[in-house]
Structure formats: structure tokens, C-alpha cells
Structure 1
Amino acid sequence: MTQQIHTFLMFEGKAKEAIDLYIEVFGGEIVNLIPNETGGVMHAIFSIKGQEFMAIDSSVHHEFTFTPAISMMVACESEEEIDRVYARLADGGLELMALGDLPGFKKFGWVQDKFGVSWQLTWS
């Protein structure tokens, strides 16, 4: 069996909401979702753009959260897609780098969504 590395996202009660947003924005599906006793997510696997991700809702409050030091990099297929995805992920989040020119790309933008997950978006 070939070893696989999955991105694993830990939320505090917002995992299902985040998964739903990512599937709405990028297309994809929930592969498996096991709810916890409080209605949150004990464990989920979801797929967007052919990539599988895992997510949970932590039952313990942590002093840490996501940081832009690690981000999801998405190569968009069109200008319409990068504009739409950027706007949707920025809604309620934080624009780290506005959509614009960047050497090597027709358009680039960096946003932290309302859940704290950081996304670098490119269009070549």
C-alpha cells in the first residue's frame, strides 16, 4: 500500500459548517462523517478538487488555531473561478493579499476564511 498524507483540520464545533462551505465553493463530497454525541463531527473525510481532507471538532478548547504559515494552495482554472472562490472564502474572513498580479500568475490572492483556514489562490 502506498503511504498517503492527508490534510487534517481541527475545529471547535464548526467542522460540518466548514466542510459544507468548502464543498459549496470547490465542489466535492463528504466521503464519510461520524457525528459526535453533541452533534458535532467526531471524524470526517471529505473530498474537494480530487484531494481528500480529514476534519474533526475537538471536544477540548485549545489556545491555538489555524495560522497562515500553512495554507491550502488552489490552482483555479479560470478568472471567473478565482474571483468567485476568493469572494466566497473572504466573506466573514480576512483578506491577507488582495487579488492581483504576482509574477508567474495572471492573478493571485490569499485569504483566511471565517474558520481561520488560509487559502492561496492562483490563476495562470
Structure 2
Amino acid sequence: MKATPFLMFQGDAGPALELWSAAIPELEILELARYPSGPQEGQIASARIGIGGSEWRLYDSPPMHDFTFTPASSIFIDCDDEAQLRRLAELLGDGGQVMMPIDNYGFSQLFTWIADRFGVSWQINLPLE
């Protein structure tokens, strides 16, 4: 058995993937298929990506929905150093929302919780040494 996080977008999967690829150089695109024609032409029909040893799936849903992402589900990233944390926070947070600004909250050296401009929530952490 294998469990894989699955993120469903409504037309923004491609731009989200571009942002994440720019912010996280280690991100690997393992599979990418786009809708060849129709109203969703060029949008992502299926994608598999690898980040930090985990695999995710994402796609653009053909039907529109009344829901999107919520901060109750988030991507938690442990960074290697402060520069990496600040870079990720700046790039992923551009046009998004800061729920907890970069600070020492006692459970780590530095931490921030943001939602990117696509509504995907990221907890970015610099673990205690």
C-alpha cells in the first residue's frame, strides 16, 4: 500500500507548479500530462512530483467546485538553514497570505506559516539544533 497526497486545482495547477519549481530547486517533476484540447486545453490533467523524499499528485479538475484549499491541511517543510527558510517564505508567500510571520515560537529556531497565492498552505520550519 502507498499513500500519496493529492492536490486538486481549478485551473491553477500549472502556475502553482511553476512557482514551487522556482522556490524549491529540489522539486522533481516525475510525470506531467496536459489536457490536449477542449476548455481545459493546456491545463494539467495529471502530474506527479517529488519533494523532499515524498511524492504528490496534482491536477486541474474539469468541474468547478465551491471549495479550495484550507490551512487545516498544509505542507510542512524542515529547512536546512535560515537563508533557505527566508527564501522559501518570500517566494511561496508572494501574493499569498501570512498566517504566522517568521519568528521564534519556541518549538523551533524560526517558523512561518503561509498560504501561497493558489491557497496551498505551507508551514516552513527551521528545527531546533
Same fold per TM (> 0.5)?
yes
Structure 2 stretches lacking a partner, 5+ long: none
The residue aligned with 1:52 is 55
Contact in 2 for aligned 1:86/1:111 (Cα 8 Å): yes
Question: What is the CA distance between 1:50 and its match in structure 2?
Answer: 2.1
Question: What is the CA distance between 1:14 and its match in structure 2?
Answer: 1.1
Contact in 2 for aligned 1:109/1:121 (Cα 8 Å): yes
| Distance in 2, Cα, partners of 1:13 & 1:99 | 30
Question: What is the CA distance between 1:104 and its match in structure 2?
Answer: 2.1
The residue aligned with 1:77 is 80
Following TM superposition, the consecutive aligned residue runs of length 4 or more in structure 1 with deviations greater than 3 angstroms are none
Q: Secondary structure at the match of 1:105?
A: coil
Structure 1 stretches lacking a partner, 5+ long: none
Question: What is the CA distance between 1:22 and its match in structure 2?
Answer: 1.2
The residue aligned with 1:39 is 42
Identity of aligned residues (%): 35
Aligned CA-pair RMSD: 0.9
Instruction: Determine if the alignment matches structure 1 residue 113 to structure 2 residue 125.
Output: no
| TM-score scaled by length of structure 2 | 0.90
| Distance in 1, Cα, partners of 2:4 & 2:21 | 17
| Distance in 2, Cα, partners of 1:89 & 1:19 | 11
Q: For 1:74-103, what per-residue CA distance to the aligned partner results, in whole angstroms no more than 9, with x for missing partners?
A: 001100000000011110000011000112
User: Number of residue pairs matched?
Assistant: 122
Q: Which one of the candidate residues 101, 104, 112 is aligned to 1:101? A: 104
Amino acid at match of 2:4: H
The residue aligned with 1:24 is 22
Q: For 1:8-42, what per-residue CA distance to the aligned partner results, in whole angstroms no more than 9, with x for missing partners?
A: 11111111111121122112221111111311011
